[in-house]
A and B are shown apart, each in its own frame.
Chain A
C-alpha cells in the first residue's frame, strides 16, 4: 500500500486539502484507519440501553471483530470478545438474557457475566473437570476496555488510550450541566440508517453548519446560518451550535420537560458535536441524542440513532414526532454523504478545500485523523 501524503491535510485551514481519495475508497487504508483511528482511541460501540437489564447480552460486530456487550450481575456494562478461550468459538450469536452463566455451545466451557471462567467440563477427561494445565483464573473472557458516558458505550480496543475522562475532559466539562440521568425514549426513540459511504463523511457533514440552509431548508424559517457558531477543540471534538433552538410542542402546547438546573444559555441554545472518532452527539434543554457510526466497510456505514429525555415517562406521541423530525433531518443528509463517497472515485481529486470561514470544525476532524495516522505510521517507518 502506498502511504498517502497527509502533510497537505495538516496545513492551516486556509491552505489545507481534505483527506485523499484513498481514505474513502481503498480497503487497505480503511484497515489502517481501523487500527490508528478507531481501535487506538475511544470509539462508540453502542449504548447502555442496548442491554437495559441485568443479564442482557448482545452480540455485536465492530470492524469485523466479534464482541459481546453484557450487563453483569452487578449492573455494570461490560464488553468482551465474543469468543470462548478454548477453541475460539462464538459464544452468543443472538441477543438474549443470560440467566446464569454464558455457556459455550461447543464444549460447554462456562463464563460468568463478569467474564470469569467457572466451568471446564471434561477438560481432564470424562467427568474430570479440572486439569493442572488449565488455569481457570487465566482463561476468563477477554474484556475490552470500556467506559459509559451519556449512555454511550465507548471502547478502546488497543487499551493504549489515555483514560476516557482525561481524553474527553473538555467535552465532559462543556456539557457538565447534562451530567444527569438520561432516559432512553425506548423502542420509538431508536432507529438505524444504512448509508453507502465511508464513516468519516458522516462526521464531516455533521461537524459544520455551512450546509444547513441548502440541505435542511426546513430549518431556515427559524434557524438561519448566522444563528450558528463553531465548536472547536483540537484533537478531541468539533461541531456547531445554534442560538435559536425551539422546543417541539404537542397539540396541547406542552413540550418535553427540561433537564433540571440548566443555565439560561440553554433556553435557546443547542449543540451538535462529534466526539472523535465516531460518535455524533446533540444536546438540547429537553432531549439529547447520540448517533453511533458503525463502519461496515470502507464504503458502508450504519448510523445507530438514540434519543434521550430528562424523564423516564414522556408523552409517546410527542416522542414519536421528535424521532420522526430527527429522522427526516438525518435522511436529508444521506444523498450528500453518498454523493461525496461516489465523488471520491474521481481520479486526481485532491481532497478538496475548506471554507476558511465555515469549515473549521470539519477540517479539525481531518487534521485529527491525519495526526492519528501519522502517529500510527511513525514507529512503522522506523522499522
Chain B
C-alpha cells in the first residue's frame, strides 16, 4: 500500500487526474474494509465525474451497490 500511496501523492502533486482515478480505484480493490473501499471508490468516482471519464458508470455502480450513492 505504501507504494500505491506514493503513487497517489505523486499523481496529486502532478494533478494527473487520469492516474488518480486509476490509483484510487486500485486502492478500493485492495481495501478489505467496506468503508475504506467506499472511501477510495468515492475519490475515484469524483475525479472521474470531473473528467467525464468513461469509468464513471463502473465506479458509480459499485457505490450504488454498497448504498453509498442514490440508485437513480
A282 surroundings in chain B (CB, below 8 A): none
The residue in A108, A127, A130 that gathers the most chain B C-beta atoms within 10 A of its C-beta is: A127
A99 surroundings in chain B (CB, below 8 A): 50-52
Interface residue? A140 (CB, 8 A): no
> Would you give the shortest CB distance from B30 to chain A, in whole angstroms?
15
> Would you give the shortest CB distance from B20 to chain A, in whole angstroms?
12
Tally chain B residues at the interface, Cβ within 8 Å.
Answer: 22
Checking B37, B50, B51 against A127 with a beta-carbon cut-off of 8 angstroms, the contacting residue is B37
Interface residue? B63 (CB, 8 A): yes
- Stretch touching chain B among A22-30, A44-52, A117-125, A252-260: A117-125
B37 surroundings in chain A (CB, below 8 A): 127
B49 touches A100 (CB 8 A): yes
Interface residue? A176 (CB, 8 A): no
A110 touches B46 (CB 8 A): yes
Q: How far is the CA of A128 from the CA of B70 in the complex (A)?
A: 11
A119 touches B38 (CB 8 A): no
Q: How far is the CA of A101 from the CA of B51 in the complex (A)?
A: 7
Using A99-B52, A100-B52, A127-B68 as known contacts, say yes or no to A121 and B36 having CB atoms under 8 A apart: no
A316 surroundings in chain B (CB, below 8 A): none
Interface residue? B69 (CB, 8 A): yes
Interface residue? A126 (CB, 8 A): yes
Interface residue? A103 (CB, 8 A): yes
Show the binding face of A for B, using Cβ within 8 Å: 99-101, 103, 108, 110, 118-119, 121-122, 126-130, 136
Instruction: Return 15 A-B CB contacts under 8 Å, by A number.
Output: A100-B50, A100-B52, A101-B49, A101-B50, A103-B46, A110-B49, A119-B69, A121-B43, A121-B45, A122-B39, A122-B42, A126-B38, A127-B35, A127-B39, A128-B68
In order of increasing CB-CB distance, the 7 nearest A-B pairs are A127-B38, A100-B52, A127-B39, A103-B50, A99-B52, A127-B35, A101-B49
